[in-house]
Amino acid sequence: MKLKYFVEVMGQSIQKVEESVEHMEMHTIVTKTEQHQIMQALLELSERIKWIEAYMVNRHY
């Protein structure tokens, strides 16, 4: 899998998750604590993707 494609797909996945969270917030009762937990999970996922991206970049050089 090419690195650029991998990064694009992961970015699209994160965007879809963020959109789903926003949609869920509008249509369900979510506590502030739950919102915080969801956003924290998204941030952690984003950080892991950055680590994977860095690994893939370094692997190709």
- Tens of pLDDT, residue by residue over 4-45, are 787 788 778 878 887 887 777 777 777 888 888 888 888 888
Neighbouring residues of 30: CB distance < 8 A, sequence distance ≥ 6 = 24, 38
CA distances from 10 to 1, 14, 53, 60 (A): 12, 6, 10, 19
**Which residue segment(s) compose the domain that 55 sits in?**
3-59
pLDDT at residue 61, rounded to an integer: 61
Count of structural domains within the chain: 1
